[in-house]
Structure 1
Amino acid sequence: MRLFLALVPPPALRERLGELADLAHAHCGGRRVPDESLHLTLAFLGEVEKTRAEALADWVRGLTIAPGEWRLDAWGHFRRPGIVWVGGQRPDPALTALHHRLWEALEPRGFATRPGRFVPHITLLRQAARPDPDTLPAPALSWAYARLDLMRSVSGHRGVRYHCLASSAPAPG
């Protein structure tokens, strides 16, 4: 099964992100990511066999992450796959530290596909043109997060859907 670790926005923020996706779609075209699929990937794990996935789910349930807040204030574009995204204008030290912490724990578990560069973002559109910053208003959202999820990606006739397999424990206090 295809797995990744992610932060999943709460419903109200997901709705606001969906509004940004609609706005970007009107200007950039492409395929819009459904609201229920919006997330921030912290670690893509790829194909994982069932027993290893179960052990990973147990590990995630035992994790706690420090609560944080991420400011989403910039549009972005990955040219090669035509991805339009929202994220931060500046690197977020807390998200970067969380990403590194996760990979430090994943590598001894046999996951060795750490990306060379971590760009925190939420994909809104695929196969889309580059957004024009003069025609799209700057996003101004804040995301308070306190847990991460182990997600499974399932492809079907209606596209890719994500299912949560496990969530980290709430931080003490």
Structure 2
Amino acid sequence: MILFAAIKLPPRTTKRLVKEQKGVSGARWSDADKLHITLGYFGEVDDDRAEILDEELARKPLPSLEIELRGAGHFGKAEPHAIWIGVAPNPALTRLHEHCKNAARRAGIQMEKRLYRPHVTLAYLKPFSPIDRIISFEKRLADFETLPFLVDEFFLFSSHRKVNGPNIYRMEASYPLIGRAE
């Protein structure tokens, strides 16, 4: 099964993001229940390694943190393939990502080596989506900001492919973030 660790967004933030999902033809906007901040993408994982990963993610509770969303952009230089809302720089979020990477390593799971750029994927783009509409969207949301919101747990999700339409996500486990960082 395909696994990833993520933070769910508060309902108020999700509603605000859904209202912004417009104005780009060729965009397949993410459903509200799929909006999240990925902490670690583990890829295809067998049941035994998934069980070890679960134990490793739960092993050391980390403190809660606050996150702010800020700005917009897209992935794909030559051919844009996704539109995102950014996450303000946050050392506590980086530590949580590192926790997920270390848990994967201890479980024998090779994670992708890409630089961690926390974001919320708003849409996946069809080939040849109009770049002028993408740029217009980014300009409209250049000053997008949320108030800080508390994150007191994160989740392990499985992703199941469908023949047509978006993947189905299922929550496999939750991990509390205890107390506040000093």
TM-score, normalization: structure 1?
0.84
1:123-162 aligned at under 5 Å gives the runs: 123-127=121-125, 129=131, 130-132=134-136, 133-136=138-141, 138-141=143-146, 142-156=148-162, 157-162=164-169
Question: Does residue 166 in structure 1 map to residue 173 in structure 2?
Answer: yes
SS in 2 for 1:14: helix
Report the alpha carbon displacement of residue 101 of structure 1 after superposing the two structures with TM: 2.5
Question: Does residue 98 in structure 1 map to residue 96 in structure 2?
Answer: yes
Contact 2:72 2:142 in 1 (8 A): no
Change (3 A) 1:134 1:122: closer
Question: Does residue 6 in structure 1 map to residue 10 in structure 2?
Answer: no
SS in 2 for 1:119: coil
Contact 2:70 2:86 in 1 (8 A): yes
- Segments of 5+ residues of structure 1 without an aligned counterpart are none
Change (3 A) 1:170 1:113: closer
Contact 1:60 1:149 in 2 (8 A): no
User: 1:85 maps to which residue?
Assistant: 84
User: 1:50 maps to which residue?
Assistant: 47
For residue 71 of structure 2, what is the amino acid of its counterpart?
Answer: A
Report the alpha carbon displacement of residue 68 of structure 1 after superposing the two structures with TM: 1.0
The counterpart of 2:27, out of the listed 25, 30, 43, is 30
1:52-71 aligned at under 5 Å gives the runs: 52-71=49-68
Contact 1:103 1:114 in 2 (8 A): no
Contact 1:62 1:168 in 2 (8 A): no
Q: Distance in 2 between matches of 1:125 and 1:112?
A: 27
- Segments of 5+ residues of structure 2 without an aligned counterpart are none
List structure 1 segments (4+ residues) > 4 angstroms apart after TM superposition: none
Change (3 A) 1:11 1:63: farther
Q: Distance in 2 between matches of 1:55 and 1:105?
A: 9
Q: Distance in 2 between matches of 1:131 and 1:94?
A: 31
Q: Distance in 2 between matches of 1:28 and 1:136?
A: 17
For residue 84 of structure 2, what is the amino acid of its counterpart?
Answer: W
For residue 98 of structure 1, what is the amino acid of its counterpart?
Answer: L
For residue 174 of structure 2, what is the amino acid of its counterpart?
Answer: S
Report the alpha carbon displacement of residue 161 of structure 1 after superposing the two structures with TM: 1.7
SS in 1 for 2:122: strand
Report the alpha carbon displacement of residue 61 of structure 1 after superposing the two structures with TM: 4.1
TM-score, normalization: structure 2?
0.81
Report the alpha carbon displacement of residue 96 of structure 1 after superposing the two structures with TM: 1.4
% identity of equivalent residues: 28
